[in-house]
Amino acid sequence: MQMEKASLEIEMVTVDERRVAMIRFCPDLKMHKGETAELKLTLRCKADHPSAVNKRVVLLSKSFKVSKPLHTLRYKCPRTLFTYEGNWISLVARATIVVGSSRLLKDFQVPLDVGNIHVSEDLAGTFTPEDKFSRYQNFMLLRAETKQTLFLLWGGGLALLFVAERMLREIILNPAGDIMTLFTSLVAIAGSILIYIAWVRTKGLFTSGVGPYFRVPDGLSLRRKSKRKISRGMRFQLSDWFSGLAETDLHGARLRVVAGNIESCPYRKMEYKSEEDEGQLVRKEKTVITRPIVLYDKTVERLPLGAPVEESFDGLLDFEPMFTDLYPPDLVAMKGIEGNLSLDSSHGLSYYLEFQLLHPSLVDQKLEVDPNYFDPLAFFKESAAEKGATAVVDEEREQPPPPPPPLPGV
């Protein structure tokens, strides 16, 4: 039942550089005077999916007696709290007050200013550029031993199938015994197996290495509580991530480093093993990359065989735009307000970082960097004391005047 004469208003203010939610509750004193009111502040991760598995984290729960025409409460928002409206998910902050059988709720915005200087509108072109390549040129890059193995597999498989076809034709024209039929079947099966192996090997070989390679710099850690993570102010040389000698002429090679946010949420899907199967609900996860930014982009017209890529692709690799232009991880990824932030969450927002070596005639090469190499708390400008502080709700009351200064000589 809604409280017709009651009202709930929320205003975001800044006090001592901290965001504070001013919650003003005007109760219906005729109905609820003296009763206990329950206030809950929650952050919900709602997904735009018909079978979404939404998630809610309780930021704070507090009880108080309804005794005044106006109750004003203050909630000191941690810097890690913000709302978000994306392509796939929404982060919604909500205040709910329950008094007896009456319930009043209100959504409120906790904005977070992020830059848009480096954000690109070309989402597909940033993360999935078109890969035009020559199969012949990629095949010629393979080692001699690999080429010989492929020729033997394809040649042997086709030869066996040809022999099996001739033997089968002979059996049809001149019926023979069961032994001849069995032998023909075995030859056909052996040829099919060789063709299958050749196809699988060939399919995976056209991403042959061209010499230079991507790597995560030594010293970075995936462990959650490790201090060896990427944070604000850290700078890398591009050669820390990409180096090596060109094993072929890489004329026209393009190196790009791109990043973005990941919106993620699970959903339920009914799966059936057969037509007679009753089916079962299976939990799956949906992830969408948004807000693309380009951290590095350079094309080299001439990079000959044997040349070190460090001489052509050099300079500083600055991750600062990731901390300023992309949204940080959110509280829904935490186990409550005092939990540890994690970039690897089933709900909410995380980060995506990818290195790309693009070539006009060779297969493009990519490296996806695990987001756990980043320090989640580095996305928020706050002191160590503020990081561990919990949010507080207090009823507004008169502050006592400061004590008088001490008398001289006392």
3-state per-residue secondary structure call for the chain:
CCCCCCEEEEEEEEECCEEEEEEEEECCHHHHCCCEEEEEEEEEEEECCCCECCEEEEEEEEEEECCCCCEEEEEECCCCCCCEECCCEEEEEEEEEEECCEEEEEEECCCCCCCCCCECCCHHHHHCCCCCCCHHHHHHCCCHHHHHHHHHHHHHHHHHHHHHHHHHHHHHHCCCCHHHHHHHHHHHHHHHHHHHHHHHHHHHHCCCCCCCEECCCCCCCCCCCCCCCECCCCEEEHHHCEECECCCCCCCEEEEEEEEEEEEEEEEEEECCCCCCCCEEEEEEEEEEEEEEEEEEEEECCCCCCCEHHHCCCCEEECHHHHHHCCCCCHHHCCCCCCCCCCCCCCEEEEEEEEEEECCCCCCEEEEECHHHECHHHHCCCCHHHHHCCCCEEECCCCCCCCCCCCCCC
Tell whether the model's pLDDT for residue 392 goes beyond 50. Answer: no
Give which of 351, 347, 358 is closest to 297, Cα–Cα.
358
Tell whether the model's pLDDT for residue 376 goes beyond 60. Answer: yes
Question: Using an 8 Å Cβ cutoff, are 52 and 109 in contact?
Answer: no
Distances (CA, A) of 317 to 188, 197, 235: 56, 42, 6
Most confident of 246-250, 292-296, 301-305: 292-296
Whole-number pLDDT of residue 9: 94
Higher confidence at residue 304 or residue 388? 304
Task: Map out the domains of the chain as residue ranges.
Answer: 7-113, 123-138+217-379, 150-205
Whole-number pLDDT of residue 335: 60
Fold annotation for 7-113: Immunoglobulin-like (2.60.40)
**Would you mind telling me the total number of residues written for the chain in this entry?**
410
CA-CA distance, 91 to 44, in Å (whole number)? 6
Average pLDDT over residues 284-312: 89
Give which of 391, 351, 395 is closest to 374, Cα–Cα.
351
- Least confident range from 13-17, 140-144, 219-223, 403-407: namely 403-407
State the pLDDT confidence band at 311, using cuts at 50, 70 and 90: confident
Tell whether the model's pLDDT for residue 93 goes beyond 90. Answer: yes
Task: Tell me the per-residue pLDDT of 254-266, one tens digit each, with 9 for 90 and over.
Answer: 999 999 999 998 8
Whole-number pLDDT of residue 203: 63
Whole-number pLDDT of residue 383: 35
Whole-number pLDDT of residue 24: 95
Average pLDDT over residues 57-76: 93
Whole-number pLDDT of residue 63: 94
Average pLDDT over residues 321-344: 76
Average pLDDT over residues 48-75: 91
Higher confidence at residue 162 or residue 323? 323
Q: What is the crossing angle of helices 144-173 and 178-205, to 10°?
A: 150
Higher confidence at residue 314 or residue 210? 314
Average pLDDT over residues 52-65: 91
Percent of the chain with pLDDT over 90: 27
Average pLDDT over residues 232-245: 87
Tell whether the model's pLDDT for residue 387 goes beyond 60. Answer: no
Whole-number pLDDT of residue 167: 78
State the pLDDT confidence band at 136, using cuts at 50, 70 and 90: low
Task: Tell me the per-residue pLDDT of 169-227, one tens digit each, with 9 for 90 and over.
Answer: 777 767 666 677 777 788 888 888 888 877 776 665 555 566 688 889 988 988 877 88
Percent of the chain with pLDDT over 70: 81
Whole-number pLDDT of residue 407: 40
